Amino acid sequence: MPRDSATSYFPARVSGGAGWFADAAANRQCRREYRAVSRYLFAFGAPVLSNYYQGQPSYRLLWRGRYSRPLLLTLRRTPDGGVLQTQFLNKHPQQFGVTTLPPGPNPDHPHLTPDERKRLLQEQQLLATNDEYLATAARARAPVVVVNAELVALNTAQVRQFTTLLDQAGFWQLPACVADTGAAEGGWTLEAATAGGYYVVSRHRPGSGLRRCGEYLRSLSPARMDELL
């Protein structure tokens, strides 16, 4: 596991994003995408897959739904098939201001007019008695917690089906990133670390092949479909 959340989980050729697109703005979007994914993996306490092969293939799916708990599915091959680990975060890690509530303006600021100061004090008094606001603020202040579900043993046929779906999706030939980061669906990041090398693909709008890979892996886990909505 990296020393801190600023460390990238991904090789420089992926997280650096140099030359992905002719458009510099699209390159910056993809670099931000992989920095965000690193923060999520760090919050899960997940190990880095890209720089260390553990002797058996490993596959990892991170699902970042906009309105659901982040989900991490990790499949590790074994001689008898594989073991699937399911983990959730109780909330999204703090990033981009999504889960934090910024402090409001200070009513005592010397540049405020008396009317502005009065209005701010009234707004803060209303918020202090608003149950929905107080509950949201409490969730924002709460620490990020990893929730572990039970491990699931997979047989050889189930693991073979997943790797077949990877091949059918052309996973190993897909670009690591595309300029779809503005989409509202959430985020799918799929990693594979095998004896042949490491590869990762991250999408906000996964194609049908990549989606089938993720949904099949999810179907083998205790995660319900509504966790991905």
Which DSSP string corresponds to 1-14?
--SSTTS-SS-HHH
Domain hosting 162: range is 12-93+145-228
Q: pLDDT: is 178 or 23 the higher one?
A: 178
What average pLDDT does range 45-70 have in this prediction? Answer: 89
> Is the pLDDT confidence value at 101 over 50?
no
DSSP string, 140-196: HHSPP-EEEPPPEEEEHHHHHHHHHHHHHTTGGGS-S--S-TT-SSEEEEEEEEETT
**Using an 8 Å Cβ cutoff, are 60 and 49 in contact?**
yes
- Give residue-wise pLDDT tens across range 146-170: 888 889 999 999 999 999 999 999 9
Statement to judge: residues 153 and 58 lie in one domain: yes
What average pLDDT does range 133-142 have in this prediction? Answer: 69
State which of 93-97, 142-146, 198-202 shows the largest mean pLDDT.
198-202
What average pLDDT does range 91-103 have in this prediction? Answer: 54
Q: What would you report as the CA-atom Rg of the chain, rounded to the nearest whole angstrom?
A: 21
Statement to judge: residues 21 and 106 lie in one domain: no
Domain contains 31: yes
- Picking from 79, 112, 143, the residue at the C-terminal end of a domain is 143
pLDDT of amino acid 107: 56
Q: Closest Cα partner for 99 from 136, 46, 55?
A: 136
Statement to judge: residues 133 and 149 lie in one domain: no
The pTM of the whole model exceeds 0.85: no
